[in-house]
A = this chain, B = another copy of it.
């Protein structure tokens, strides 16, 4: 299966099981991270940005409530989740498990 094809519901469950800290939210998967302070939250946001730029797949990154970061991944072009989205989630999990 091409990494950019929208995946089936069955595949979705398999992939979600591999990134258990991510939640499905509509056409996206999201995870919220918490840090000791604002600067660490920004540092993580930048690490995600470097990873995203390398993959040419850019999630939404929200730094909020002073020390939290919410990542939302979706492949807009496909109108739903693809294998690529879960690959990016795994890479982000590798930055901050």
Contacts and interface: CB of A to CB of B under 8 A. Distances in A.
Interface of A: 38-39, 42, 45-46, 49, 52-53, 58, 60-66
Contacts of A46: 42, 46
Contacts of A65: 60
A49 to B, nearest CB: 5
Contacts of A45: 42, 45, 61, 63
A61 B48 CA distance: 15
Given A38-B49, A38-B53, A45-B45, A60 B58 contact: no
A60 B62 contact: yes
A63 to B, nearest CB: 4
